[in-house]
């Protein structure tokens, strides 16, 4: 009865809950709810990188409600049809809670969940209020349970309604720091390494591999968003991906899979230069090494002068994929630009900036 949607098919912050069958019997819905509650309670052992308090409060309330379910597991009700209806509604809500907790504990989407803290908090609030409403109309009086168990149900209902599910202070502070860094990128200003380190430390990102997971997740989300009708978050996702790529290059180096944090990023870039393929630094339009790489809404990177000429010629599609663009905004790819400069310096490649081409 519990939805088995996996993380490869379910987009983050989407909750495809399935309502139980109308003909489900009392024992089946109770047993399925117990299994679902146990699954949710198992999230206590997970690490929540953001929305920690909201997640813990939600788990605690469901853990208390589990006592009630286990108490009625082998019982009967005088209002069985009404009770099954109420429990089915709770089952539907609890599935969404599980999906939300899964997203909050994902280890590849930490920065996305951070900048989406407002939305995540709102989801917690809505789901807990829905639980409170469902419990208010649940005919507990028709069950053969102790007064103590009834009080537990009432307690969960009160707390689900009264508990403040707000954006946590630290989440808001670090999220704003990320937005400030993105603003600096937009103004072509190199951010302080200390600011980047504080963000990653808050999210528990301690290695190149963990940083790369974030990049891959954001890359996948850009693809999914480009396939959607609205394409609302493409630009923002591209900016976040540029942020994480920059962090990956300037803060980390990998030696035999062992992460070593670099304070100035020099060691990381020097190691990367040795394994770079020059073709990866070329603009797909001119096939020349880029001077000023920028990322468009599809997530692809081009040299600024080349893509601007493409747009001025009346083209509003991605040169590489042919996909129509919803925006022609350009996001500076400072991480790649820094790599290109270092690569050219170490290989004695001169810059001919006035012509917009690097000669090799």
Going along the chain from its start, the domains and CATH numbers come out as 26-166 (no CATH), 170-358 (3.30.40.10)
pLDDT score, position 135: 95
Residues 332 and 186: beta-carbon distance below 8 Å: yes
Percent of the chain surpassing pLDDT 70: 86
Position 22 confidence tier, pLDDT thresholds 50, 70, 90: confident
1 compared with 43, residue with greater pLDDT: 43
Residues 214 and 150: beta-carbon distance below 8 Å: no
pLDDT score, position 351: 55
pLDDT score, position 273: 54
Residue 5 has pLDDT above 60, yes or no: no
pLDDT score, position 222: 82
Residue 194 has pLDDT above 80, yes or no: yes
224 compared with 308, residue with greater pLDDT: 308
191-201 average pLDDT score: 91
Position 306 confidence tier, pLDDT thresholds 50, 70, 90: very high
Residue 265 has pLDDT above 50, yes or no: no
pLDDT score, position 171: 96
Percent of the chain surpassing pLDDT 90: 46
Residues 358 and 291: beta-carbon distance below 8 Å: yes
Pairing state between β 258-261 and 252-255: antiparallel
Q: What is the tens place of the pLDDT at every residue in 275-291? A: 556 777 889 899 988 88
Distance CA 50, CA 203 (A): 8
Distance CA 293, CA 180 (A): 21
Distance CA 292, CA 302 (A): 8
Distance CA 239, CA 89 (A): 39
By 3-state DSSP, what share of the chain in percent is helix, strand and coil, each rounded to 5?
A: 60, 5, 35
Position 357 confidence tier, pLDDT thresholds 50, 70, 90: very low
Q: What is the tens place of the pLDDT at every residue in 116-167? A: 999 999 999 999 999 999 999 998 877 878 889 889 999 999 999 999 899 9
Position 337 confidence tier, pLDDT thresholds 50, 70, 90: confident
Q: If you ran DSSP here, which 8-state letter would residue 208 be given?
A: H
Residue 262 has pLDDT above 50, yes or no: no
The separation between the first and the last C-alpha atoms of the chain, rounded to the nearest angstrom, is: 62
Three-class HEC string of 184-207: HHHCCCCCCHHHHHHHHHHCCCCC
Residue 57 has pLDDT above 60, yes or no: yes
pLDDT score, position 108: 95
The closest of 360, 188, 183 to 287, measured between CA atoms, is: 360
Q: If you ran DSSP here, which 8-state letter would residue 279 be given?
A: G
288-323 burial by CB neighbour count: b if 16+ within 10 A, else e? bbbbbbbbbbbbbbbbbbbbeebeeeeeeebbeeee
pLDDT score, position 264: 42
């Amino acid at each position: 009865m519990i939805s088995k949607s996996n993380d490869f098919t379910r987009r983050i912050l989407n909750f495809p809950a399935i309502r139980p069958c109308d003909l489900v019997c009392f024992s089946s819905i109770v047993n399925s709810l117990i299994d679902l509650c146990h699954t949710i309670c198992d999230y206590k052992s997970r690490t929540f990188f953001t929305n920690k308090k909201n997640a813990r409060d939600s788990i605690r309330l469901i853990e208390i409600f589990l006592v009630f379910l286990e108490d009625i597991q082998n019982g009967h009700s005088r209002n069985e049809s009404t009770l099954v209806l109420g429990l089915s509604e709770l089952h539907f809500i609890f599935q969404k809670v599980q999906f939300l907790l899964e997203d909050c504990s994902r280890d590849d989407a930490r920065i996305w969940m951070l900048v989406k803290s407002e939305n995540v908090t709102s989801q917690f609030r809505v789901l807990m209020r829905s639980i409170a409403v469902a419990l208010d109309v649940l005919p507990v009086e028709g069950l053969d349970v102790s007064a103590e168990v009834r009080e537990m149900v009432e307690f969960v209902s009160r707390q689900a309604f009264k508990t403040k599910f707000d954006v946590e202070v630290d989440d808001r502070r670090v999220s704003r720091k990320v937005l400030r860094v993105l603003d600096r990128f937009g103004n072509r200003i190199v951010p302080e390494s200390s600011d980047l380190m504080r963000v990653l430390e808050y999210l528990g990102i301690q290695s190149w591999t963990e940083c790369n997971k974030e990049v891959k997740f954001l890359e996948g989300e850009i693809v999914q968003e480009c396939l959607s009708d609205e394409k609302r978050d493409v630009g923002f996702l591209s900016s976040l991906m540029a942020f994480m790529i920059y962090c990956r290059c300037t803060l980390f180096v990998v030696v035999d899979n062992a992460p070593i944090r670099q304070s100035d990023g020099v060691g990381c870039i020097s190691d990367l230069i040795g394994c770079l393929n020059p073709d990866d630094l070329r603009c797909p339009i001119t096939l020349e090494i880029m001077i000023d790489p920028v990322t468009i809404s599809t997530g692809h990177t081009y040299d600024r002068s080349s893509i601007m000429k493409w747009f001025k010629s009346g083209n509003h599609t991605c040169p590489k994929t042919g996909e129509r663009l919803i925006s022609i905004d350009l996001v500076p790819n400072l991480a790649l630009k820094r790599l290109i400069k270092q690569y050219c310096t170490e290989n004695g490649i001169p810059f001919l900036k006035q012509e917009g081409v690097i000669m090799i």
